[in-house]
Chain A
Amino acid sequence: MKILILFVFIFQISCVNADEIYNLLKIPNLEIYKLKNNNNIRYLSAKGNFKIGINKNITCEEVNINNLNTKFPLIEKNLNRYNSNFLNKIKLKYVVFCENLFISEINTGGIPDIKNRTLILDINFNKKYFERMIHHEIFHMIQNTHIKYFDEDKFSSFNHASFNYAECSTCSNRLNLDQYEKTDGFLTEYSKSIPSEDMAEIFSFLMTDKETIEVKINNDKILSKKVNYIKLNLAKIDKNIL
């Protein structure tokens, strides 16, 4: 009997849930949260835990629907700032909500997947940085779809010659997301990790706290060059985003 129960259990967890959303996005255990929106984003939520990616290194858990209902207006307000034309250009159509998102056992707020036009968001991500995190992840989609506009070597050249970024975003312990009082070319400690994170941090601040950034760049020439570079190239994609 125990063997039979074990067999049934193994069978249940090893089978991919065969449904229409999995067929489209290759993420199991999703259901529609909100389908019709002005900018054509389709919101989906995890009705069960899922593991995806190479070696199933991306994991996330089922959402508590009450938790999502509470946080959704804030998420929607931020995503509604992007029009459908812009979202088409950056290949974002689906936003997947789940809780406790990990990539290779590192907790993260969001994971963009351009191939499937999807952004996975952890709705439990630190409240303090939550809105910024949404725009930060969107910048990664902007950069990945418009690499020629956001050249990392060109962007890195704005820094002091003695400064070096880390090899990768998680290879350093530069992870703090709090804004520096004295910026000196970088808005947060995380900005110092790699060029794309630096750009994404600038973009996220421009989307959430533009006034402060405009003040900061008056006294920070490096940051000023970086902000202008982001603004200039973003305007090539859509003049009305910032």
Chain B
Amino acid sequence: MIKTIRASKSEKILFIFLICLSIFAFTSFFLLKNKCLFVEKNNLSNLYFNEPNNIAVMNVECGNVIIELYPDISPKTVERFKILIEKKMYDGSAFYKVSENTFVQAGDIEYGNINNLDYSKIGSGNSGLGLLKSELNNDFKFTEGSVGFARTTEFDTEDSEFFITLKEIPIYQGEYTPIGKVVYGLDILTKIKTGNKAIYVLRPDYIKTFRLLNSN
């Protein structure tokens, strides 16, 4: 005859604790690890734009970042930016320089592509299209979501790298060439991996695709 052994009170508590622990571990792994969980994806078919020719869509891990370009403010720079997008040169470009809640930077075509990252040279690469003259605008305010063309410490050294501000940065006014502004998806950019306190990011996030709206 088999005798039924009833669990003691402490065994029951331990059992419940283990169940709670496993539920917590499960949710942590699948939910908390997913940084894109609560981010709006920005479905393009639901959006309307006044000037679709000047809309660019940058697809990253958490969804679409939609940028309105300003050719009236910086004609040569926007023209270059569109060429780089049309040639798909930004696809795979790493956000190698990120300052938390401040700015993200990508676009080193030569050394900053996820398939060919060179940490010793990143930030110094060229697109092969030559340098551009800075198109500075003293009235353009680098508010949250502004897109600017990056340069070295010298003016007229813009090539392909760009940055997007995640907060207002008044000191950038008149210092960098404006390209445009993020109209949808700024919260997506706040999810880009940062380098903690360092300005450069190890194993960075990257741009999946970057397209002009009209070419989609």
- Residues of A that sit less than 8 Å from B by CB: 11-12, 15-24, 26, 32, 35, 42, 115-116
Q: Are B99 and A19 in contact (CB under 8 A)?
A: yes
Give Cα A18 to B175, complex, Å. 18
Is B153's beta carbon under 8 Å from chain A?
yes
Which of B60-68, B113-121, B192-200 lines the interface with chain A? B192-200
Tell me whether A20 and B99 are in contact in the complex, defined as CB-CB below 8 angstroms, given that A32-B171, A35-B170 are known contacts.
yes
Smallest Cβ distance from B203 to chain A, in angstroms?
A: 16
CB < 8 Å: which of A18, A24, A35, A116 contacts B198?
A18
Interface 0/1 of B86-102, CB less than 8 Å to A: 00000000000111101
Q: Are B195 and A18 in contact (CB under 8 A)?
A: yes
B103 neighbours in A (Cβ, 8 Å): 20, 23
Most chain B Cβ neighbours within 10 Å, of A12, A15, A20: A20
Tell me whether A42 and B198 are in contact in the complex, defined as CB-CB below 8 angstroms, given that A20-B102, A115-B154, A116-B153 are known contacts.
no
B99 neighbours in A (Cβ, 8 Å): 18-20, 23
**Residue on B with the closest CB to A116?**
B153
Q: Are A21 and B153 in contact (CB under 8 A)?
A: no
Contact sample, A vs B, 14 pairs, CB 8 Å cutoff: A11-B197, A18-B100, A18-B194, A18-B199, A20-B99, A20-B102, A20-B172, A23-B103, A24-B171, A24-B172, A24-B175, A26-B153, A115-B153, A115-B154
**Residue on A with the closest CB to B99?**
A18
By secondary structure, the B interface counts as loop
Interface residues on B, range: 20 to 34
Beyond A18-B194, A23-B199, A26-B153, 18 additional pairs, beta carbon < 8 A: A11-B197, A15-B197, A16-B199, A17-B197, A18-B98, A18-B99, A18-B102, A18-B197, A18-B199, A20-B165, A20-B169, A21-B171, A22-B199, A23-B99, A23-B103, A24-B175, A32-B170, A115-B154
A18 neighbours in B (Cβ, 8 Å): 98-100, 102, 194-195, 197-199
Smallest Cβ distance from B130 to chain A, in angstroms?
A: 22
Give Cα A62 to B195, complex, Å. 25
Most chain A Cβ neighbours within 10 Å, of B171, B196, B197: B171
Smallest Cβ distance from A114 to chain B, in angstroms?
A: 10
B170 neighbours in A (Cβ, 8 Å): 32, 35
Give Cα A26 to B103, complex, Å. 16
B198 neighbours in A (Cβ, 8 Å): 15-16, 18
Interface 0/1 of B11-54, CB less than 8 Å to A: 00000000000000000000000000000000000000000000
Q: Are B171 and A20 in contact (CB under 8 A)?
A: yes
**Residue on A with the closest CB to B198?**
A15
Smallest Cβ distance from A116 to chain B, in angstroms?
A: 6
Smallest Cβ distance from B105 to chain A, in angstroms?
A: 8
Give Cα A15 to B97, complex, Å. 14
